[in-house]
A and B are shown apart, each in its own frame.
Chain A
Amino acid sequence: MRPHPHWIDYAVIGIYFTFVLGIGFVLKKYMKTSTDFFLSGRSIPAWITGLAFLSANLGAQEVIGMGASGAKYGIMTSHFYWVGAIPAMVFVGIFMMPFYYGSRARSVPEYLKLRFDEKTRGVNAISFAVMTVFSSGVSMYAMGKLLQLLLGWNFNAAIIVSALVVLAYTFLGGLTSAIYNEVLQFFLIVIGFIPLTFLGLRDVGGWGGLKTRIGNDAMVHSWKYLGSPSTNPMGVEWFGMLMGLGFVLSFGYWCTDFLVVQRAMAADSMTSARRTPLIAAFPKMLFPFLVILPGMLAGVVSAASMSGSMSGDVSADVPAKPGSAVVSQRAAGGGISLEGGKGIIPPKVDESGKPLIKDGKTVLDYDLATPMMLVRYFPSGLLGLGLCALMASFMSGMAGNTTAFNSVWTYDIYQSYINKSATDQHYLWMGRAATVFGLAISVAAAYVARQFNNIMDVLQLVFAFVNAPLFATFLLGMFWKRATGNGAFCGLLGGTAAAAVHHGITLPAGSVPGVKGGFLGVVAHRYPSEMAQNFWTAIFAWTTCFTVTILISLLTKPRPDGELKGLVYALTDRPKDVGLAWYQKPALLAVVVLTALVVLNWIFW
């Protein structure tokens, strides 16, 4: 099955690129100082920073990954949003923004320097810079691979062109350009995916029809089957889910990852900064319907428009008999074969085009679930829009990583350690240079990812090792004035080490020692699934960092209260929300978001 884009699809994509570049060009003249370039002059209104906050996070991982998880695990995937993201977003908006914004820190590592010391900043800055640049590269690789598989586009061309486009607009317009394009991308993704979900649901007969077709009750309930790992497809129980995903991993990401926090720092006032994650929370709550449902639908719809087709049907587009040698030729040379797949999810194929088998079952390529839905339901015209939305999600992730990298490089690494007292114009120049070499490294990383297909797993892993303990550091830093720099530094290292050790002595069911764990020689515990192992690694990492930080802090000298004003809860004035309309007050927004969250969880119980 290979879609054939027509001129209209290319026209839509071309128009999109024109606007994306155009925004960059128009914004160039406003980039006069380094604050303009890295922080948009702290002048962006809340609704824009809110949508950008959400959109910067909306990389390939979301659109493709959530579709894949939806296909694999069902509506439980919504936990990534309803338990994972939303509470963390509310927390960062209400409780942590006053410190991020009020401290006038220009980056997350810089807050750590102000609150703790230079070495704590260093640990965070270096690990973040490396992670973010590699993350961008992995995004590029995933996009190149997808476009090649789906449309036959040249892998190298896809990578180079997308890198150049992102380079152009971030180089010219800095963070503002990235933010504006993220908002554009947000609308594109929503507008691109609403018809997809609509058509898919209509085809199966609504949510009820979907439930019937899936046939597995555990895939259409989000909480009911979390009593034990053996009763749900994810292999987790509610405690591991809540503490691992709900608390450590999501708070670790949303509260400390500079990629999203940067967007809130660009807001035009403290109130806007606090409202940014709350405004983002509203669309975030509804995203499961746009990204998870298509994945769930992919497993149960059929390729041809005839009803009653068997799953594994090859589309009427390409004439071939299943089982013939033509199948593997086609898969390798042009087009995707659904032979052996489920619904319209194709099997994973090896180089010769034959489906991979593991434990007697065909391994499915879940990452293709959402793209195959696009190809299945969108005629030419809308197909161009859908492809645009897909590319937009990859590119907004890349741009987010690029702007975060160039800021952390310039302020936290270059200015802190290499050249402390240059002119503002020099730092502006350095920021632009960092944009270029950051993207160059990302492109290199994309090719590395192509060589070693475990790289995505490795990256996920290292992210968890680094992010999980970080949240403990921030929590203690912001709410316990007794926390010291030495404590924070040791805590971070200890937490990361604990994560590595935990991963090294445990294995998920059905895996062999290696990237998946158990590389320290002994396997102390077998988890029912990779996800369970992940969640518990996070829990151990966080707890270790928390305890070590407290212990070492009590043994070392704290800084005097005067130095910590504005950086710690006890020593900062509570922000006052005067002069705001009732619907603008952060506290009220938070209450509305949390109520809606409870309702959604209850509906899909």
Chain B
Amino acid sequence: MAKLILSMDNLVLKEITLNKERTTIGRKPGNDIHIDNLAVSGEHAVIFTILNDSFLEDLGSTNGTLVNGNMVKKHFLQNNDVIELGKYKLKYVNEQPSQVTSGDYEKTMVIHPKPTPKAAEGVSQNLQTTQPMRAHPLDTIPGSAFAAKPAAEPKPVEHKPVVAEAKPAAEAKTAAEVKPSVEMKPAAEAKPAAEVKPSAEMKPAAEAKSEEEMKLAGEVKLAVEAKSAEAKPSAEAKLKSKPAETKPQVATTEPKPSSAAAAKPGLLAAIQILTGPSAGKELDLTKSLTTLGKPGVQVVVVTRRPQGYFMTHVEGATFPLLNGKTLDAQAHALNDHDIIELGGIKMEFFYKVA
């Protein structure tokens, strides 16, 4: 979970975990992060947290809010951002789970609003006091200056779209006006689910997507399942490095499987045309893939991958020649100074000297 580290003059004062969807910062005592300093406004700023993302919004403070030295009104917080209010600094720490632990992290989960008409009213304060089981409160930002605007959808033709995705045209409010009213406050309530898999039910109100959902005020059920995701050893992860300078290779007799690449990771290569009208022309292979040849007649593609360059036949009845040998439909690793022949034109593949 994300947290803020409050410090002044490099002295750490406090650590605040962002476990509420609305964390207020200001000089007045009611703020979640209370900073009693005259440079800080009574209600200075607020941080909205939605699951793993946090957004900072200045509430029209007298002296403003800086993030990494820049004055901000609204800001999507990123790991290690430093928020400054007067002499106080708040460092935002939200470390991405490492690859090793990412098994669950990138798992797709469903959040889905379930109609429970009563959920919206009355319980709005619960969130402030009771923490839901699920770590992060779940809701869209209530009454925020992150104003809604209807998004343009690709226009279906002819037949009417069957599902009208009703988006509320929420009114834009200036940040100064933003004071979430009681009704707009999210009400979250978590129930431990008596199931094998962890699952939590939460009830947010506010900013429901469609009018109907708005009325029903949504009970959001999080279906979260643990999954065993083990790292799979990658067959292609092994890279063979070669020295940069090479002798011209006369022939690579065997077509190589794509996993055993002739590797020069990251090095830029180019193709020089040797014969024909464009002889002498050079083409840098900077893109992830470059096609060569004439569409409809004969085309090959040279792909740039972490482990080097590869050539594959794309279209045409005749296959290209690599160092005098006709290729098959597979991808072939390219080695420095390989000669490609395509539609009677010879060209040389070579690595540029870094």
Is this pair of chains taken from one and the same complex?
Answer: no
